Amino acid sequence: MVRLSRSVASTVALSAVCSFVDGHGLNDGLTVKTTHFTVKGTVETNTTNVRVFRRIPYAEPPLGANRFKPPVTKKPELDVLDSTEFGPSCIPINNGQPTPYTEYLPGFLLAPGATTGEDCLSLALWAPREKKEERLPVIIYIPGGGFTGGGANSPYKYGGPIVRDNQDVIVIAINYRVNIFGFPNAASLNQHNLNPGLLDQRKAVEWVYDNVAAFGGDPAKITLWGQSAGGSSVDKYAYAWADDPIVRGLIADSGVASLLGTTSADTSNFTYVASQIGCNQEDADDQFSCVQQKNASEIIKVLNTYNATQNSGKGLTFTPTADNETSWADYTDLRNRGRFARLPLLTGINDNEFATLLPLSPNGPNQTAVDRSTNASMNCPAAAAARSRTEYSIPAWRYRYFGQFPNLNPVEWLGAYHSSELPIIFNTSNLLGPNTDNELATVEYLQGAWLSFVRDPENGLINYGWPLYNETTESLVQLGLEGNPKAVFAPAGKFDETCT
């Protein structure tokens, strides 16, 4: 079994470095030897009890012949790698159009001054400074961004406060390739390995499994958590790696496997981009090689400046493609057949998701459209994901988040918008102003719930007072409802009348 071989590999690696990392290694735990290289971190800003390693490469740079291909295992390095600063985030699409995030909520975006580039396959790791007697559970967080952007260097999603306040968990956030670099769907690929961005995520999980013990983590206690495109990635991961998941629990916020995807039949988007940068070869392999050799700035410029109106209304999108390896076109069929990893699942959505996902309007979007899109794209798929687990006796929990706070709701029409739960769970919500007392109580309760799941995916939330999801009971967990910092339970199908 692959899982056993990984376990053996981790044991061998740990024994090889144990003398080096005893007491968390050199320099009070700030220099750590992994299986292939040594990294130097620092103390997290405004803390004394958290170590942070902001740039740990988990794969080789996906440059040249590696562009659009599966990630390549990181080669050994003799020099100590400086992990004190964030490396580049993966190249995003930026068409210059304003959004609620650019205008009101910049903490959800990449940090000011953050760099982007192709050499982006790295992760950030936050761990306690103090050596622990027992190895700690691990969170691997997959950021969202619509598969068009995003990354680990995003202020509302830094893992430091979770570790600072709990000291019994390690938090990791990963970068992965997005847009055309992560989901090229080029004809030359012949419908195989069409989603290197999803393969990046798997490579990061494998790296953590093999190396997290050197930082004090337990490779047998990893939970995969993601939000939006990251939540979709988490659920897709459960199908892609059903027989070898490595992780032991899944948290999918505001996104499940069916969110954002395309079929593999139409490869014209890649061909169009190729034609715009001078790669007009008739042979698909020659065209592919040509695009691999072009400067990344030329490629992303085509996406950033594309105008659908001038192209007969045809969109130019690159999201996970159904290659039946890492992404599928028919998740209903897979759910019905139970073709997913049998792992505990926590999933849910926010009450007003699409307030920030529809085109920006000064007075806010049409609320009817917000409600319709929230239900169809987020609520009903989450219900199906939770239900499918219960049908196979897998522990599952489902929530709906309603929280609104002054420092997270600068305009009144936002409501419980897409991503608004994240600063509460990460305890980073004070970027735009101080937290209210009720907000602090909500932070404590929600963070406690997420960490109860991470510490014990099978029973942690049961012990926290949350019922297992069941369509016939009051098992929908309402969070932040009418200012209540704790859970209020409702009938499972309270919001599902129009779901089919």
Q: What is the mean pLDDT of each run of 10 residues along the chain (500 residues)?
A: 39 39 58 97 97 98 98 96 98 96 97 97 97 96 98 98 98 98 97 97 98 98 98 98 98 93 88 98 98 98 96 94 96 95 98 97 94 97 97 98 98 97 98 97 98 98 98 97 98 94
Task: State the DSSP string of 291-302.
Answer: HHHS-HHHHHHH
Q: Which of 233, 258, 418, 475 is catalytic?
A: 418
Domain ranges of the chain: 2-263+321-490, 270-311
Q: How far apart are CA 341 and CA 235, in angstroms?
A: 9
Q: How far apart are CA 411 and CA 313, in angstroms?
A: 32
Q: How far apart are CA 214 and CA 34, in angstroms?
A: 6
User: Is residue 297 within 8 Å of residue 291, measured between CB atoms?
Assistant: no
In the prediction, which pLDDT does 387 show? 97
In the prediction, which pLDDT does 250 show? 98
Q: How far apart are CA 492 and CA 303, in angstroms?
A: 41
Residue 325 annotated to the active site: no
Structure tokens at 444: 């404590």
Residue 418 annotated to the active site: yes
Computed on alpha carbons and rounded to an integer, the radius of gyration of the chain in Å comes to 22
Residue among 470, 339, 476, 427 at smallest CA distance from 126: 427
CA angle 258–259–260, rounded 5-degree value: 115
Kindly state the helix (H) or strand (E) to which residue 225 belongs, with its residue range: strand 217-227
The model's pTM is 0.95
Q: Which of 353, 377, 429, 452 is catalytic?
A: 353
Domain 2-263+321-490 maps to which CATH number in 3.40.50.300, 1.10.3720.10, 3.40.50.1820, 3.30.1360.120? 3.40.50.1820
Q: Which of 83, 89, 154, 228 is catalytic?
A: 228
In the prediction, which pLDDT does 19 show? 32
The residue whose two tokens read 């093999």 is 210
Torsion of CA 412, 416, 422, 424, to 10 degrees: 70
Helices (H) and strands (E) in the chain, counts: 15, 14
DSSP state of 140: E
Residue 353 annotated to the active site: yes
DSSP state of 187: G
Q: How far apart are CA 14 and CA 214, in angstroms?
A: 7
Count of other CB atoms within 10 angstroms of residue 115? 13
Structure tokens at 223: 């939970």
In the prediction, which pLDDT does 27 show? 55
